[in-house]
Amino acid sequence: MSVFCAIDYETCGPERYAACSIGLVRIENGRLGKSFVHLIRPPSRRVLFTDVHGLTWRDLCNQPTYPELWPVIADFVQGCDGFVAHNASFDRSVWRSCCETFGLPDPNLPFYCTLKGSRATLNLSSYRLNIVCSSLGIPLNHHEALSDALGCAAIFLELGRRGLDVERMRLNPPARKKCRCS
């Protein structure tokens, strides 16, 4: 049986490497496993989106940077077959941008999207994470990284129980940057 890791980032700037919080939840043998959450000192003192996630520079200034936190993150995702996220294209872009910007090794795992899976399976007026969780009776403290990762993991398991093949949630690989060689 595959092992997945639900992931959620909160960011504090328009740059995808401006992660300020990460939540991770392992999904093993069809069950929620261990979890991890940590605030991250962003690369800039400028903290945007406080109105969304509630985090300020004061909350983040004494936290480890992404590269300092990397060994713990890499150890946590070791042995996983893929990542699961709600609107996975966003979380995948943050993951890859952080790896590229900070020179960290990207294990290049596939991403599976519960937003995509929810649209294929559920009949809702909106497929935002908070709406999907509410419709399935999953508790959520929206925009808190661990709560969002737990909510996403619970959606992933419920969609599987409803018969959705995990491959229908898989994101296509990101497009490669074109070489401008002459």
**pLDDT for residue 144:** 97
The predicted model scores a pTM of 0.92
pLDDT tens digits for range 35-48? 999 999 999 999 99
Which of 26, 24, 34, 37 is closest to 2 using CA atoms?
Answer: 26
112, 86 contact by CB (below 8 A): no
The pLDDT mean for the chain works out to 94
pLDDT tens digits for range 97-152? 999 999 999 989 999 999 999 999 999 999 999 999 999 999 999 999 999 999 99
Query: How many CA atoms within 13 Å lie on the side-chain side of 147?
Result: 11
pLDDT band at 173; cut points 50, 70, 90: low
129, 91 contact by CB (below 8 A): no
pLDDT above 80 (res 175): no
- Bridge partners of residue 4, in order along the sequence: 27, 82
Cα–Cα distances (Å) from 139 to 32, 85, 100, 112, 147, in that order, read 14, 16, 34, 21, 8
pLDDT tens digits for range 9-22? 999 999 999 999 99
Question: What is the percent of the chain with per-residue pLDDT over 70, rounded to a whole number?
Answer: 94
Stretch 23-35: mean pLDDT = 96
CATH architecture assigned to 4-169? 2-Layer Sandwich (3.30)
Q: Which of 47-56, 70-79, 165-174 has the lowest mean pLDDT?
A: 165-174
**pLDDT for residue 87:** 96
| CB-neighbour burial class of residue 137 (10 A; exposed 0-12, middle 13-18, buried 19+) | exposed
Which of 42, 53, 66 is closest to 10 using CA atoms?
Answer: 53
pLDDT band at 172; cut points 50, 70, 90: confident
Q: How does DSSP classify residue 172?
A: P
Instruction: Give the integer Cα–Cα distance in Å for 121 and 107.
Output: 30
Stretch 169-175: mean pLDDT = 79
